[in-house]
Chains A and B, each alone.
Chain A
Amino acid sequence: DAKTTQPPSMDCAEGRAANLPCNHSTISGNEYVYWYRQIHSQGPQYIIHGLKNNETNEMASLIITEDRKSSTLILPHATLRDTAVYYCIVRVGTNAGKSTFGDGTTLTVKP
């Protein structure tokens, strides 16, 4: 599975959009981009995933560049409860998926 690079930390004002970048320049054509978040000491929570088209669900939007070498997770109206560590991983969709979670981005939403 391709490696990803994320900034270690970001701040965002409450009510504003949080845009979290992820670089995956070595991604292969059959690898998906997945985003998770981990709030405090809880188990990570799945947010969204995509292959090449932009995706949106009730939690977030995922924007993948045309060359698929990077992506951005967008939380449209961040709240204090969105403070968490956000992980971006890439993996092939249909194999066992030995996914590597890096250190992620610590997002702090400030009032």
Chain B
Amino acid sequence: DAGITQSPRHKVTETGTPVTLRCHQTENHRYMYWYRQDPGHGLRLIHYSYGVKDTDKGEVSDGYSVSRSKTEDFLLTLESATSSQTSVYFCATRRELGGYTFGSGTRLTVV
């Protein structure tokens, strides 16, 4: 979706290194989310934000942190990447009563 940009689109990193994924939106949506998706599985919520500097944990938050210093940007950081964090990461935004709008995803490989 043109209103959400995820970067990078692909990344390979080594075990133990920190990694930051960026989600940028131009929709001015209040809510932003980070999901991960593994082969054969649905989407699992990592963290979400309900406003600038307001974030909370999802169902699989261990090993991840987030920050939202302005409305348009939501950063996901893997503090020390592990092979179990190899996945496709999707960012999503949502206005108050609407559905989610998802980005195109970031494919992360931890070797």
Q: Do A and B bind each other?
A: yes
Q: Which of B1, B58, B90, B98 contacts A98 (CB 8 A)?
A: B58
**Smallest CB separation, A66 vs chain B (Å):** 22
Question: Count of A-B contacts with CB under 8 A?
Answer: 57
Report the minimum CB–CB distance from B68 to chain A (whole Å).
Answer: 12
| Known interface pairs A43-B105, A98-B58; A93-B97 also in contact (CB < 8 Å) | yes
Give per-residue flags for A44-79: 1 if the beta carbon is below 8 A from chain B beta carbons, else 0: 111101000000000000000000000000000000
What residues of chain B lie closer than 8 Å to A32, measured between beta carbons?
97
Chain B residues within 8 Å of A, Cβ to Cβ: 1, 31, 35, 41-45, 48, 50, 56, 58-59, 88, 90, 92, 94, 96-105
Interface pairs (27), CB distance under 8 Å: A41-B105, A42-B105, A43-B102, A43-B103, A43-B104, A43-B105, A44-B102, A46-B98, A46-B99, A46-B100, A87-B43, A94-B96, A94-B97, A96-B31, A96-B50, A96-B56, A97-B31, A98-B45, A98-B58, A98-B59, A99-B100, A101-B35, A101-B42, A102-B42, A103-B41, A103-B42, A104-B42
